[in-house]
């Protein structure tokens, strides 16, 4: 088991990042790399199944995301204590390799390789991805990603995807030019059930797409004495959202109206088949805080390449890379016109387990059979506190 000891909850308290605790020693690092359990085989979890397991209500809080262009944006995410209550009160907790699922909620920063990979927490690099997406697509992100296929690997609380979905739900559906395919993958089905889908529903509820439901439900609530009042659609405020059949029906209808194809996948990267009809290749691939463990790095690199390299077009790697200059806003905006966008957000070094940016870069750029797989470019840097970056991967054509 390995604990990072720095996450976005520290950011919420006004601290940008916290260095790892002193008790992260070599014995824990060894356990993280050598004591792995057998990995779960990837499978698709139907939206209907996840919806059927939603609790009667969701408690949520705002999360503030600073943007490099100035200002910031606000989103809503489910409270962890609320997820714990769901497991305990609804007798919904299971066990995995001798670990109770309640244990993961009680200590969401503790990683058990092959069992639980930290997806219940919101890690700070996911916020960096939102900043990067905002710089690339600007305020018109909803229209610019129309007709594209998006996947977030190791999504956890799925903050980058929630940002994209909230933008879609805030746009005029009548102006939609093509479907948007959004696929969310996390190792743990538990994570998809407890935080990923609830956060997607919150992104919808906090948008204009839910306005018709809120208006009708508000009228019904006034007429029914026992009906729970709906919270305001204000992502700056905490609240509790009743999950009713009417709400889930309205959410599903909005997916159809806004032409969003939403799918969920659990299990290992090595067994995720992105070549199946209706999946890849993807136009946009996002992943954050997923290169911390060297033992799983190659399977991640292989998957990322399979998922996006099919979109690569002719031309040299150097030519593709030359179109971007670090911190050049105009260059970042030009990435919106590239045939694919592959973004990986990570800390420079993950203390105690050995993973980090250098290992990831080497896995892609180290020559194999006389040529390298691709190029890695830094498109965003955070040098205060624990150093972080967002990297763009450009692939050699398959």
Are 75 and 166 a contacting pair, CB within 8 Å? Answer: yes
Q: Roughly what angle, to the nearest 10 degrees, separates helices 159-169 and 124-137? A: 40
Which domains, and CATH codes, for the chain? 43-54+119-209+244-395 (3.40.50.150)
CA 302, 305, 307, 310 dihedral sign is negative
Nearest-10 Cα torsion for 333, 337, 339, 344: 10
Measured in Å, how far apart are the chain's first and last C-alpha atoms? 37
Rounded to an integer, what distance in angstroms lies between the CA atom of residue 345 and that of residue 357? 9
The percent helix, strand, coil of the chain (3-state, each to 5) is 40, 20, 40
CB-side neighbour CA atoms (13 Å) of 310: 15
- C-alpha angle 149-151-156 in degrees, rounded to nearest 5: 155
Return the H-helix or E-strand segment holding 347. Answer: strand 341-347
**Ordered DSSP codes for 154-190:** T-TT-HHHHHHHHHHHTS-GGG--S-EEEEEEES-HH
For residue 324, give both structure tokens: 């971007």
pLDDT in tens, 212-271: 999 998 665 545 556 788 999 999 999 999 999 999 999 999 999 999 999 999 999 999
For residue 71, give both structure tokens: 């200002």
**What is the rounded average pLDDT for all residues in the chain?**
82
Rounded to an integer, what distance in angstroms lies between the CA atom of residue 63 and that of residue 98? 33
DSSP 193: I
| pLDDT of res. 321 | 56
| pLDDT of res. 396 | 82
Confidence (pTM): 0.86
Please report where in the chains the tokens 């890695």 appear, as a residue: 376
pLDDT under 70 in the chain at which residues? 1-38, 90-118, 176, 218-226, 312-330, 398
| pLDDT of res. 288 | 96
């Amino acid at each position: 088991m390995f604990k990072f000891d720095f996450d976005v909850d520290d950011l919420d308290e006004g601290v940008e990042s916290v260095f790892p605790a002193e008790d992260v020693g070599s014995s824990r690092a060894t356990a993280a790399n050598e004591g792995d359990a057998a990995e779960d085989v990837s499978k698709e979890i139907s939206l209907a199944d996840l919806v059927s397991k939603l609790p009667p209500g969701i408690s949520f809080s705002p999360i503030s995301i600073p943007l490099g262009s100035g200002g910031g944006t606000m989103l809503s995410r489910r409270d962890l204590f609320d997820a714990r209550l769901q497991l305990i009160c609804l007798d919904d907790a299971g066990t995995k390799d001798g670990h109770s699922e309640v244990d993961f909620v009680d200590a969401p920063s503790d990683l058990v390789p092959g069992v639980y990979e930290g997806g219940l927490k919101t890690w700070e690099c996911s916020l960096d991805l939102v900043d990067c997406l905002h710089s690339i697509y600007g305020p018109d992100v909803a229209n610019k990603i129309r007709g594209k296929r998006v996947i977030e690997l190791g999504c956890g609380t799925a903050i980058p995807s929630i940002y994209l979905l909230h933008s879609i739900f805030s746009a005029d559906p009548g102006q939609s030019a093509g479907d948007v395919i959004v696929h969310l993958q996390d190792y743990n089905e538990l994570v998809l059930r407890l935080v990923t889908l609830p956060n997607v529903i919150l992104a919808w509820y906090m948008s204009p797409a839910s306005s018709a439901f809120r208006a009708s439900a508000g009228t019904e609530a006034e007429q029914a004495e026992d009906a729970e009042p709906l919270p305001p659609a204000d992502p700056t405020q905490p609240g509790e959202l009743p999950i009713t059949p009417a709400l889930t029906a309205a959410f599903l209808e909005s997916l159809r109206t806004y032409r969003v194809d939403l799918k969920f996948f659990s299990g290992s990267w090595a067994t995720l088949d992105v070549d199946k009809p209706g999946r890849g290749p993807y136009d946009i691939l996002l992943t954050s805080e997923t290169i911390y463990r060297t033992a799983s790095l190659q399977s991640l690199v292989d998957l990322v390449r399979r998922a996006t390299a099919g979109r690569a077009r002719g031309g040299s790697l150097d030519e593709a890379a030359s179109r971007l200059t670090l911190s050049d806003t105009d260059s970042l905006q030009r990435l919106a016109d590239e045939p694919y966008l592959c973004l990986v957000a990570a800390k420079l070094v993950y203390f105690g387990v050995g993973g980090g940016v250098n290992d990831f870069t080497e896995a892609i750029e180290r020559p194999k059979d006389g040529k390298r797989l691709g190029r890695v470019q830094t498109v965003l840097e955070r040098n205060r506190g624990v150093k972080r970056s967002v990297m763009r991967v450009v692939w050699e054509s398959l």
